Structure 1
Amino acid sequence: MCLINFHFQNHPKYKLIVVANRDEEYKRPTKEAHFWEDEPTILAGRDLQQMGTWLGISKSGRFAALTNFRNPKLPNAPKSRGEIVKDYLTCYLDPIEFISNLKENRHQYGGYNILIGDGNELFHYNNIFDKSIKISPGTYSLSNCSLNTPWPKVKKGMKELNYLTSQSKSEIEIEQLFKLVSDRTTAPVEELPDTGVGLELEQLLSPMFIQMPHYGTRCSTVLLIDANNHVTFVERTYEDGEFLFDKKFEFTAQQ
């Protein structure tokens, strides 16, 4: 997962609005969103290589989403980051306790950002900076550095999601959210960050929706939790940048 835009506790209808893109190698085996056979309370896509996930929600309304921290100089770590999302969705720890455990084991994983919580409270933790915060009401964006780092797609995602939510005082159009993260415009060279991957790759990775020969946006996800804990989860799957299909799920979280 390389881009998560979200609007929290600041809308008349929805407690949480999430619109996110997962970017990955095209060849990496993946199963689209479903309720897992071995963990039937989890609704999420699944990485079939490590059996974890990048974004999901449980039937009780526990939510988690993860992005990698981009720095090619970081050493390899023994554990898969996708386990973190799965572990939060299946455990009974509150977010503060869960983050405390993450801090103790932060070197077991490659660099990452994690969002955890539900529609009522939300937390962010970054294991590279070893910093956690409780999210206040508002609009945010998270890519491959930290929360609201002013990369071009982060700034654009925040601005456009804030505009959409401000214009909609009731039901928000799911297609508008998908359109937001389908933008394939590359950023100007002078606005690019320097994460150590080289200028050419920085530019290829700069759009909200990435399309490269062997790597790019594999799916987009919209998650809505309304004031009555009704959950709407829509995943849009792509292949080589082309739309394949949508999967939609709706249920009421049993909090």
Structure 2
Amino acid sequence: MCIAFFYLAPEKDDSGPVALILVMNRDEDLRRPTEPARWLGHDPPILAGRDLTEGREGGTWLGLEKRTGKLAFLTNMYTGEALNPQAHGRGHLVTDFLNSPQSGTDYLNGIFRTDKLFNPFNLVTMDWDGYAGRYQAQYFRPTQAPNSLCSGFHGLSNHPYTQPFLKTERGLSQFQSLVAEAQDGKRDRKALVEALITMLHQKERHVPDEQMKRQAGPDAEPHDCLGSIFVESPNGEYGTRAQTVIIVNKNGKVYFQERARSAEEDWSSHEFEFTIGE
């Protein structure tokens, strides 16, 4: 289970200098080999964590390309079906977009038309418009054509965009309140980031969840631990292992923080500040 919340400023917006606020929890097997967020290469320069699993090396769940400001993140779709081991790695969908010259719409339309096999997923791409100082976002899952996302607040976990889990709905409400406080000047960036990390660390379980049950299938019962924003499995082998906060101002200045933990439960923090295009 992964979960993300993000705010897209409208084209004409007097609410403040922020163009994008995005937060995300990556939930995964804590033993899965992973590299924390860092700059990957120089042409183009991509900031992302990296999957080191054999056969999946180089894929990621979230990344941002410095030169153009393009951004993308992916969540796997939760189902009760076994994964197809012959399918292509989904993490490369993010890095392939960031490495490509295509817009999000063109890239997603290409995936929609491809005959490549993937296990179910959600993919959000974002294109930076430096002139307008805003992002334009698109959403795609393999069963339907790509859709543009409007400005405002969005939440997405391992469910179809229009069929959220309870934890997505509850978390989105909290996210809206925190962003509103920042826009009203009640929180500076440091306080906002701390509040967002606290939100991502919530362990309250929003269960039972009928949507999660529908996706699990008639013969499966979802684990209650999956109903929280911060996930911890009973055996301690699966859970939230990376938390990311991204804030982009309308002038293209980026703040990127990732908190990540290893299988030994040690947390580390990585912060990056830069300007798109520089």
TM above 0.5: yes
Which among 72, 75, 100 is matched to residue 64 of structure 1? 72
Distance 2:178 2:157 in 1: 20
Task: Kindly report the root-mean-square deviation, in angstroms, between the aligned alpha carbons of the 2 structures.
Answer: 2.1
1:196 aligns with 2:212: no
- Residue aligning to 1:184: 203
Distance 1:133 1:56 in 2: 20
Offset at 1:216? 0.5
Change over 3 Å in CA distance of 1:166–1:42 after alignment to 2: same
Task: Give the equivalent residue in structure 2 for 1:126.
Answer: 141
Task: Quote the Cα distance in structure 2 between the aligned partners of 1:38 and 1:231.
Answer: 18
Distance 1:135 1:190 in 2: 25
* Shift of residue 190, structure 1, vs aligned partner: 5.7
Could you tell me which residue of structure 1 aligns to residue 48 of structure 2? Answer: 44
Note the alpha carbon deviations across 1:105-131, whole angstroms, 9 max, x for none.
Answer: 26521111111013421111111x323
Q: Deviations over 1:72-131 (max 9, x none)?
A: 32651521000100001111001111011110126521111111013421111111x323
Q: Secondary structure in 1 aligned to 2:273?
A: strand
Tell whether the 8 Å contact from 1:216 to 1:240 is kept in structure 2 after alignment: no
Matched, 1:21 2:25: yes
Identify the residue that residue 156 of structure 1 maps to in structure 2. 170
Mapped partners of 2:148, 2:211: distance in 1: 28
Q: Identity of counterpart residues, as a percentage?
A: 28
Bigger Rg over Cα: 2
Structure 1 partner of 2:227: 206
* Structure 2 residue 230 is matched with structure 1 residue 216: no
- The match for 1:2 is 2
Counterpart of 1:247 (choices 254, 261, 270) is 270
* Uncovered stretches (5+) of structure 1, i.e. residues with no partner: none
Unaligned runs of 5+ in 2: 128-133
How many residue pairs are counted as aligned between the two chains? 253
Structure 1 residues 160 and 143: CA distance shift in structure 2, 3 A: same
Q: SS at 1:35's partner residue?
A: strand
